[in-house]
Structure 1
Amino acid sequence: MEYLHIDSTAVIAHQHSAGAKQSGPKLESNNIGCSVGGNSTKIHALVDALGNPVKFMLTEGNRHDGPVALELLKTIQLTGVNVVADKAYGGKAIREFITSQGGKYTIPPKENNREPWSVDWWIYKERHSIECFFNRLKHVRRVATCYDKTSYVFRTFVYAASIVLMTR
């Protein structure tokens, strides 16, 4: 892999997806967070340069992208890989982790950053592949609106929709 794109998208959780019955110990969170727009779930994804998914993670909709990015990036070998992301992933911890693993990053600095770095905007323009991936993924109705009460069922449908998209 030469380029790896990382981003997230919010998925509205339908009102019937909340309130899963807890029988026994809680093994996994339902990943439904309450925000201003209502209940939502976030799909965090790593996508290669061709728009094929590499890794997924579900979180609550009101969770920040930075800490989740570190969790996702720790599962991938980054030697010789250029990680392309938007400004939400420009934190010092993420940038230092990528360089410590032998990778590069193409992440624009925020406007108020005291120590801005240079960005290759020609490489950054290729980030549209992850946006296109999320666009195609949200064409699947079951993924666009989360109706499932448990996160492992919803994650299964995200995987199934990704497989269908990869075969097209």
Structure 2
Amino acid sequence: MKRHDLTDEEWERLAPLLPGNPRQGGRWADHRTVINGVFFRVRTNIAWRDLPPWYGNWKTVYNRHRRCSMDGTWEKILDGLRAGCEAAEGEDWTLSVDSTVVRAHQHAAGARQAPPADFPVKGTPLDHKPVKGREALGRSRGGLSTKVHLVADQRCRPIARIISPGQHADSPYFRRVLERVRVVRPGLGRPRKRPGRVLADKAYSSRGNRAYLRRRGIKAVIPIKKDQQANRLKQGSRGGRPPGFDADRYKERNTAERCVNKLKGYRAVALRTDKRERVYQGTIDVASIRIWLRDPAS
């Protein structure tokens, strides 16, 4: 077994979740060898063409990763690995929300842009204004960057993720990332989408976010900003009661930051080199799969 390869125990948990060979075309190359190549690249962030020869043709490994990223195979595998992970906490299932900025390498830019709908004719010059934040890439003082919005459980394992251009704020993505929470229950029953409690820092303190959690019956553990508190006091009785805040439970919010550290241990996550948004999301999912294989739900 090479370094970063799947152990026999990890392969036994992963193999039943992998798709079979396609109905059309030839048989796929060995799943374990190719997926080991994907894990090696995500861990080291080397160029695909520089993959060691024992993983086979680099193009085969890249195509498998790209295909699984585009059709949602990595996400389906994660759903299987996360099944029943909330059962131990029950109604008190607690999640933490946070975000992190990822620097994008210059090779991540320059993905081909589809022609505009107004000019469907092949060969039409792309003289229209490019879409802002295309491929989840943004430009700020530090250059090109992408922001990863993450939901983690109390064992520092990723539950849901979305990405955005790096200069975008955190609060508008609070509801979007929570709506991606989906934990399959073993056996029959609908997937669980609502935790009992959500922890987040001051960046997510807004009336809209608190109202969203209240409508869904989720307890919010979010500190209020000083300017929001001063504005409420300034309004007097019209400002209403201050939102509840459990300082002791808020100490557990660092689980999201520790989950970010786990993900950034994979260099292809810490430095984005993937051009396409969906492929980079797949890279994050592959790193998440390895985290769940090493710390399974049961």
**Fold conserved (TM > 0.5)?**
yes
- What is the aligned partner in structure 2 of residue 37 from structure 1? 142
Q: 3-state SS of the aligned residue for 2:134?
A: coil
- What is the aligned partner in structure 1 of residue 100 from structure 2? 9
The answer to whether residue 207 in structure 2 is matched with residue 92 in structure 1 is: yes
C-alpha separation between the residues in 1 aligned to 2:116 and 2:102?
A: 27
The answer to whether residue 146 in structure 2 is matched with residue 55 in structure 1 is: no
Preserved CA contact (<8 Å) 2:160 2:178: no
Q: How many residues align?
A: 166
Preserved CA contact (<8 Å) 2:161 2:180: no
Residues 69-109 of structure 1 deviation map (CA, whole Å, 9 limit, x = unaligned):
1112234433x611100001011100000011111100001
C-alpha separation between the residues in 2 aligned to 1:143 and 1:52?
A: 15
C-alpha separation between the residues in 1 aligned to 2:109 and 2:180?
A: 30
The answer to whether residue 110 in structure 2 is matched with residue 110 in structure 1 is: no
- What is the aligned partner in structure 2 of residue 152 from structure 1? 278
Q: 3-state SS of the aligned residue for 1:62?
A: coil
Preserved CA contact (<8 Å) 2:202 2:224: yes
Higher helix share: 2
Give the residue type in structure 1 aligned to 2:249: I
C-alpha separation between the residues in 1 aligned to 2:197 and 2:116?
A: 41
Gaps of 5+ in 1: none
C-alpha separation between the residues in 2 aligned to 1:167 and 1:40?
A: 29
Residues 15-64 of structure 1 deviation map (CA, whole Å, 9 limit, x = unaligned):
111111124569x9310001111110011011112222111101000111
- What is the aligned partner in structure 2 of residue 81 from structure 1? 196
The RMSD of aligned alpha carbons is 1.8
Q: Which deviates more from structure 2 when the two are superposed, residues 16-25 or residues 41-50?
A: 16-25
Q: 3-state SS of the aligned residue for 2:150?
A: strand
Alpha-carbon offset, residue 117 of structure 1: 3.1
Residues 120-145 of structure 1 deviation map (CA, whole Å, 9 limit, x = unaligned):
11111101111001011111111100
Give the residue type in structure 1 aligned to 2:111: A
Bigger Cα Rg: 2
TM-score, structure 1 as length reference: 0.91
C-alpha separation between the residues in 2 aligned to 1:23 and 1:112?
A: 44
C-alpha separation between the residues in 1 aligned to 2:209 and 2:287?
A: 29
Gaps of 5+ in 2: 1-85, 87-92, 118-132, 182-192, 233-241
Out of 203, 216, 221, the position equivalent to 1:101 is: 216
- What is the aligned partner in structure 2 of residue 127 from structure 1? 253
- What is the aligned partner in structure 1 of residue 112 from structure 2? 21
Q: 3-state SS of the aligned residue for 1:39?
A: strand
Preserved CA contact (<8 Å) 2:98 2:151: yes
The answer to whether residue 167 in structure 2 is matched with residue 167 in structure 1 is: no
C-alpha separation between the residues in 1 aligned to 2:287 and 2:116?
A: 30
Q: 3-state SS of the aligned residue for 1:83?
A: strand
Higher strand share: 1
Give the residue type in structure 1 aligned to 2:98: D
